[in-house]
Amino acid sequence: MNDHIFRFHHEGIDGAVIRVLEDEILSVNEFLSEDHQQGDTDEYAFAYTSCYLNVYGRHVLIDAGFDPDTVPGALESIDVLPEDINWVLLTHADRDHVGGLLMGNGSLTYPNAQHVIGKALWEDLSNPETLAALSDERSPFFRRLVAALDGRLQLCDEEEAVTEDITFLLSSGHRLGHAVYEIKTQGTPLVHTGDSYFHPLFIESPAWINRVDSLPDVGSNSRQRLTERLAQTAACVLGSHLPFPGIGTILRDGSDYRWVSRTEHERPIS
């Protein structure tokens, strides 16, 4: 089995988690405040992923990875072409999530897709002052991205329907305008949480600050609201950087939350 793609099924939806960069062995303490530092056993594999979903025949990609080759290569192995993608849902605009949106010649990797992103995030990113302040290393890519996506975007805010089956949910904090996406299924919803959770500890203690969030307090508030919603709806949860493949559910026991990784009780579809 290809360890860069994990296929799954949830209540009528087929999906695939795609590894877009090799895992990074990190200490969770890098993200935690002084009060919450963990003991010796805190190292873990921080994954980098995108997600493909077949939503009743519509091809949906959630984030595009770091480069324009990895995700199309993985999609090819499940007989999906870049031209087939109908929707690209973006959680935020860090390079490991949007780097794959543009090919080397500057054109869009998913030419027929409607791209969806948070309104506040896009207004900030496309502001000439923001672009002017980017480093020399980042500036060319983001200038080309803003130009390529101009007129190809659906900008969403707060809680907004993208389609009948897909809802944009603003969950700001990791970055201004960071979004999560809730997909209707035949049963419990499927929710892609983007960079809301850098480690299962943030699911179990959603109020804890993630030190690398741009807006740590806003992120903590968003995470608390999101975690309660995910537990109440018994959602199938996906996260960009949770240990691969980063799929599970959140159980609520009194005021405690517990992350149950789906691979603990289920084999992948090979």
- In the numeric block, which tokens belong to residue 161? 């329907």
CA–CA separation, 174 and 248 (whole Å)? 21
CA–CA separation, 63 and 180 (whole Å)? 11
Pairing verdict, β 236-238 and 190-192? parallel
Return the number of the residue (195 or 213) whose C-beta is nearest Zn ion. Answer: 195
- In the numeric block, which tokens belong to residue 146? 């803003």
**Should residue 213 be labelled a site residue for Zn ion when binding is judged by CB under 5 A?**
no
- Scanning 4-12, 71-79, 91-99, 143-151 for contacts with Zn ion by CB under 5 A, the matching segment is 91-99
- In the numeric block, which tokens belong to residue 202? 């943030």
- In the numeric block, which tokens belong to residue 206? 């959603």
**Should residue 63 be labelled a site residue for Zn ion when binding is judged by CB under 5 A?**
no
Size of the site for Zn ion (CB under 5 A): 2
- Scanning 22-30, 37-45, 93-101, 222-230 for contacts with Zn ion by CB under 5 A, the matching segment is 93-101
Q: How far is the CB of 97 from Zn ion (least distance, A)?
A: 6
- In the numeric block, which tokens belong to residue 129? 């002052």
Return the number of the residue (10 or 178) whose C-beta is nearest Zn ion. Answer: 178
| Angle (CA) 92 98 104, round 5° | 160
CA–CA separation, 97 and 238 (whole Å)? 14
Q: How far is the CB of 40 from Zn ion (least distance, A)?
A: 26
Q: How far is the CB of 262 from Zn ion (least distance, A)?
A: 20
- Give the CA distances from residue 230 to residues 135, 225, 248, in Å, rounded to whole numbers and listed in that order: 37, 9, 11
Return the number of the residue (52 or 185) whose C-beta is nearest Zn ion. Answer: 52
Residue 10 and residue 248 in contact, taking contact as beta carbons nearer than 8 Å: no
**Should residue 195 be labelled a site residue for Zn ion when binding is judged by CB under 5 A?**
yes
- Scanning 89-97, 122-130, 137-145, 176-184 for contacts with Zn ion by CB under 5 A, the matching segment is 89-97
CA–CA separation, 208 and 224 (whole Å)? 9
Q: How far is the CB of 83 from Zn ion (least distance, A)?
A: 26
Q: How far is the CB of 94 from Zn ion (least distance, A)?
A: 5
Return the number of the residue (67 or 96) whose C-beta is nearest Zn ion. Answer: 96
Q: How far is the CB of 38 from Zn ion (least distance, A)?
A: 21
- Scanning 74-82, 92-100, 105-113, 131-139 for contacts with Zn ion by CB under 5 A, the matching segment is 92-100
Return the number of the residue (46 or 165) whose C-beta is nearest Zn ion. Answer: 46
Please report, to the nearest 10 degrees, the dihedral formed by the alpha carbons of residues 123, 129, 133, 137 taken in order. 60
Name the site residues for Zn ion (rule: CB under 5 A): 96, 195
